[in-house]
Amino acid sequence: MKILVTGGTGYIGSHTVVELQNQGYEVIIADNLSNSHENVLDHIAEISGKRPEFEKLDFSDPQHTNNFFDKNLDIKGIIHFAAFKAVGESVKNPLMYYHNNLVSLMNILNNMSKHGIENIVFSSSCTVYGQPEKLPVSEDSPIQKAWSPYGNTKQISEDIIYDTLNADQRLKGIALRYFNPIGAHESAKIGELPLGVPNNLVPFITQTAIGIRDQLKVFGDDYNTPDGTAIRDYIHVVDLAKAHVIAVDRMISGKGKKAFEVFNLGTGNGYSVMEVIKSFEKVSGEKLNYKIVDRRPGDVEQVWADTTFANNELGWKAEKGLDEMMASAWKWEKALKEKESGL
Ligand code: WQD
């Protein structure tokens, strides 16, 4: 059974491809390589023993997208990761985000209807909740006005999928709302490869510890939280990847209870920035150089998931704790340095 993974050479995509292959799925990756490298295919093959099929493709181009689907008629399901995802960049360049993220999705949905591809898993985000009034946040918590064009593209994309599935009853979809994916595969052959200065906390921590960055700036310690720093639900990228395979299985086996289902993918535990730093120092034995600075505009104070629905309905639960996540991130950063120094 062949699954198309758009954005499959990216961080979460590549980890999901490995887990799909581990479960016996055949995979074709289509990616425009705007934020990833083609050699990830070799690293996936080193882990799973199988190099996935690959096509370089920009899904925001309707003609190229149509040609791709006309050529690949054996696709049984799609996991759609391919999108721009930098919150700050989306504020500076909203039209680039709306065009790329929404037109790509619509081109894919058009081809699903045309070719009778019935299943899509969509990569969504906890940013749709904004700063929830009530914590932990469940799937029926109110969707708040997005804090960035990036977050808005996730909200609009869910609506586009919902309405498309409503119009074409053959189609089924699952939106997975990620909390904060971190860490790397235990082999340290794949992991997060931020281009340029990382926006996200964990790659900034490991790059500071390895000497690429001078100092981590901690954005604010005056939040209404136990240690004053902001709280997030960090989830190991492999736990997240496994949930995608379960979601594909669910749709293909017809176990879905509605045409369009939404699941929160978190651990149910919130950790503060300082707790993440302490965990890193514990597992790495490194003393991290950091400084408290002002809050980052657009950051929510605290958010973590109510994972009951995913636990019960998908039979899925995140297994890895914070220390294991941080240890895997550090192992990956050190492996990158060895690769760069040609060891
Ligand atoms: C985490 C915490 C920062 C960097 C992002 C995306 C979101 C989703 C998850 C995709 C915050 C603090 C960070 C730094 C810091 N991704 N921080 N210094 O913003 O929660 O969410 O990832 O769907 O869309 O926005 O993640 O890692 O940037 O920040 O103090 O150098 O770390 O203030 O409290 P965020 P993050």
Contacts with 97 (C-beta within 8 Å, 6 or more apart), sequence order: 84, 89, 90, 149, 150, 153
Q: Which atom of ligand 1 is nearest to the CA of 124?
A: 23
Give the phi and the psi of residue 71 in degrees, each rounded to 5: -85, -25
Nearest protein CA to atom 10 of ligand 1, as residue: 125
Ligand 1 atom with the shortest distance to the CA of 202? 27
Task: Please tell me which residue in 25, 97, 150, 271 is annotated as part of the active site.
Answer: 150
Within 8 A by CB and 6+ apart from 46, the residues are 187, 189
Residue owning the nearest CA to atom 19 of ligand 1: 299
Termini Cα distance of the chain: 38
Distance 230 CA to ligand 1 centre (A): 9
Burial 12-51 (b: 16+ CB within 10 A, else e): bbbbbbbbbbeeebebbbbbbeebbeeebbebbeebbeee
Residue by residue, DSSP assigns 216-232 as: EEEE-S-SSSTTSS-EE
Cis peptide before 62 (omega within 30 of 0): no
Q: For residue 342, what pLDDT is reported?
A: 67
CA of 226 to the centre of ligand 1 (A): 18
**Residue 140: count of CB within 10 angstroms of its CB:** 9
Structure token digits, residue 315:
């039979």
Q: Is the dihedral of CA 149, 143, 181, 31 positive or negative?
A: negative
For residue 221, what pLDDT is reported? 98
Question: With left for phi above 0 and alpha for psi between -120 and 50, is residue 183 left, alpha or beta?
Answer: left
Residue with CA at minimum distance from ligand 1 atom 21: 180
Using a 10 angstrom Cβ sphere, with 0-12 exposed, 13-18 middle and 19 or more buried, the burial of residue 312 is exposed
Residue nearest to atom 3 of ligand 1 (CA): 219
DSSP class per residue in 233-284: -EEEHHHHHHHHHHHHHHHHTT--SSSEEEEEES-S--EEHHHHHHHHHHHH
pLDDT of residue 56: 98
Between the CA of 138 and the centroid of ligand 1 the distance, in Å, is: 20
User: Do 264 and 309 touch, CB atoms closer than 8 A?
Assistant: yes
Residue by residue, pLDDT tens for the chain (343 residues) are 899 999 999 999 999 999 999 999 999 999 999 999 999 999 999 999 999 999 999 999 999 999 999 999 999 999 999 999 988 889 999 999 999 999 999 999 999 999 999 999 999 999 999 889 999 999 999 999 888 899 999 999 999 999 999 999 999 999 999 999 999 999 999 999 988 899 999 999 999 999 999 999 999 999 999 999 999 999 999 999 999 999 999 999 999 999 999 999 999 999 999 999 999 999 999 999 999 999 998 899 999 999 999 999 999 999 999 999 999 999 999 999 998 876 5
Of 76, 111, 57, 107, give the one whose Cα is nearest residue 3.
76
Ligand 1 mutation pick, 273, 279, 280, 302, max ligand atoms within 8 A of CB? 273
**Interatomic CA distance for residues 261 and 175, integer angstroms:** 6
Other C-beta atoms lying within 10 Å of the C-beta of residue 131:
13
Determine the length of the chain.
Answer: 343
**At a CB cut-off of 8 Å and minimum separation 6, what does 234 contact?**
179, 180, 181, 182, 202, 267, 271, 276, 322, 325
Ligand 1 neighbours (beta carbon < 6 A): 85, 87, 125, 127, 178, 180, 199-201, 204, 216-219, 230, 232, 273, 296, 299
What is the spatial distance between Cα 267 and Cα 252, in angstroms, rounded to a whole number?
A: 26
Distance 219 CA to ligand 1 centre (A): 10
Shortest-distance atom of ligand 1 to CA 273: 32
What is residue 343's predicted lDDT score, i.e. its pLDDT?
A: 55
d(CA 92, CA 200): 17
Tell me, yes or no, if 150 is annotated catalytic.
Answer: yes
Provide the edge-to-edge strand list for the sheet that holds 119-125.
53-56, 26-31, 2-6, 75-80, 119-125, 172-178, 260-265
- Torsion sign across C-alpha atoms 292, 296, 300, 304: negative
Ligand 1 atom nearest the C-alpha of 231 is 34
CA-proximal residue: ligand 1, atom 8 (nearest): 180
